[in-house]
Structure 1
Amino acid sequence: MSTLTGSLVGQLRVVRYAAATSAAEFRQTYTWRSWAIGWLGRMLSQVTFFALIGVMLGSPERTRYLVVGNAVMACVIETMTVVTNGVRERQEGTFPLLAASPATLGTVLFGRGLYQPVSGAVTALVTLFVLAPAFGVRPRAAQVPALALLIVVTALSTYGVGLVLSAVVIGLPGARNVVSNTAYLLMMAICGVQVPVDFWPPWVQAVSEVLPLTHALAAIRELMAGHATTDVARSLGLALLTGVLWLLLASVAVRLVRERGRRTGSFDYGA
């Protein structure tokens, strides 16, 4: 086994064990009832609120636009809660051990937060297939597998954005919730969730182009509208590309945090 292959296998093993810890934490945080009523109920209510704006406007097209956009956004909102994970790890005192271990800190943090995009994807799928039909949005049976794949891509691609911000707020623990909320509200505003991207001035559109949600949501809308497969594939490709770039940026950001923590001895139980 080559050194590169051995390193890759080792990193995947770290992700596996970190993800197992993540799943155990999720089970301790939620019961099926508290998740379904407390979290899913909240997301369904939020999507209903925005859908009713379209109903009040008397526009089925606008209602459809808001339902689809906010159903997908439900996935992103949950995924972006990963922003607080780095601060939590620091407060729980695991950073000194992780910084001293041979495992890459970024790999551990990636695995530790995986339940968030997974749960977010489930939330979005339930919203899209259970609530959306009440507002006239009924995906065709043939579209279901592709829609499920696109929702998973949305969750994982925006996960990279959350990991970058998680690294940033490790040194600013008091700002973690502000950063998390600001990030998803910004994406909700400019990525085509509530209004088309071309509603905004060119410089805002340019910002939206580097965010995976813009392209993932465009692919979902194109698929549901019956556009050509090439259009969907192009948007999907851009979502994957920007998602990978954000994950690479997250890896660099976490590495810088780790090196600074080792150099300054700042991996304490910071509040």
Structure 2
Amino acid sequence: MVSRDAVRRQRPSSLRIFALAARTGLGDLRTNYTWWSWASGWLLRCLMEVAFFGLIGLLLQSREAIFFLLIGRGLFVGVAEVMWVIQSTAWERASGTLPLLVTAPGRVWPVFAGRSTQWLPSAMATSLVSLLVVPAAFGFALTPAELAAFVLVVPVTIVASYGFALPIGALVLRRPSWRNAASNVTHNVMGLVCGVLVPVAFWPLPVQWFAQIFPVTHSLAGLRTVLEGGEASWPPFVLSLAVTLALGAWWFVVGAWLLERFAEAARDGSIDIDT
């Protein structure tokens, strides 16, 4: 009979599981897209979406509104894409692999978290290209400092938003039929209250407080500070990125904890993982 200590020694590390799951996720991404289908399909759609919001500012006859909407939506298209973490977490139930995952000796959270990293490179590229191309197409000349701010804010925002999406995916794992609704509601609420389309200060104070739970609220506010204030605003910008990462890390830990609780419930039979 194999002892519990022997099982623990044979258990693969969480880091190794995460790395292998991330490799599988990237394989899924390559299956879903070629470079041509991604650029001519997904990316072009996102560029048109950002340009659409810029046209709203044009109708308002306000150059400030145009720039505000272009920057907000340009960053947010990647955030909306990374909310697919919610769906991809629930896909394991449909694929039939969940019983194997919960009975395996390793932890389950690195599997779900690693598989969902497939959205990160696409979301980062989508936001970065949107921010670099669409404002320039509307006649906005960007300084080297502003370009550097884009390069910094995009990966920080996407990674932190990925961490935020993980606990929602863990909750939806119990009710996989809710996955699309949960993802759509989440990114639509963020688009409304996080400063993407209107300033956060536009909303009543309770809504402003609620907006602080989302990582993109802080990174977008920091980016707008740099775009409005020049080099003197870089210390607050760097602080906003640190807050964004810390908030994303906190949500990631919550998501990992929820995934482990789900696995424990599945092992003791309180959740039917065959449905």
Q: TM-score range by the shorter chain?
A: over 0.9
Which residue number corresponds to residue 208 of structure 1? 211
1:105-144 equivalences in 2 (<5 Å): 105-144=108-147
Residue pair 1:96, 1:267 contacting (<8 A) in 2 also: no
1:138–1:115: structure 2 CA closer, same or farther, 3 Å change rule? farther
Structure 1 residue 265: Cα displacement:
6.2
Paired amino acid for 1:94:
T
Runs of 4+, deviation exceeding 4 Å: none
Residue pair 2:131, 2:150 contacting (<8 A) in 1 also: no
Query: Identity of counterpart residues, as a percentage?
Result: 35
User: Partners of 1:245 and 1:224 in 2: how far apart?
Assistant: 28
1:105-254 equivalences in 2 (<5 Å): 105-225=108-228, 226=230, 227-254=232-259
Residue pair 1:99, 1:258 contacting (<8 A) in 2 also: yes
TM-score by length of 1: 0.92
Structure 1 residue 234: Cα displacement:
2.1
Structure 1 residue 137: Cα displacement:
3.3
Structure 1 residue 62: Cα displacement:
0.7
Gapped regions of structure 1 (runs ≥ 5): 1-5
Deviates more, 1:180-189 or 1:254-263: 254-263
Higher-Rg structure is: 2
Which residue number corresponds to residue 77 of structure 2? 74
Residue pair 1:95, 1:267 contacting (<8 A) in 2 also: no
Structure 1 residue 129: Cα displacement:
0.8
One of 242, 247, 269 as aligned partner of 1:264:
269
Structure 1 residue 252: Cα displacement:
1.4
Deviation per residue, 1:53-81 (Å, 9 max, x gap): 00111111110000000000111011001
Which residue number corresponds to residue 94 of structure 2? 91
Gapped regions of structure 2 (runs ≥ 5): 1-8
Q: CA RMSD in A?
A: 1.8
TM-score by length of 2: 0.91
Paired amino acid for 2:35:
W
Which residue number corresponds to residue 3 of structure 1? none
Residue pair 1:91, 1:269 contacting (<8 A) in 2 also: no
Which residue number corresponds to residue 24 of structure 2? 21
Paired amino acid for 2:257:
V
Aligned residues: 264
SS at match of 1:171: coil
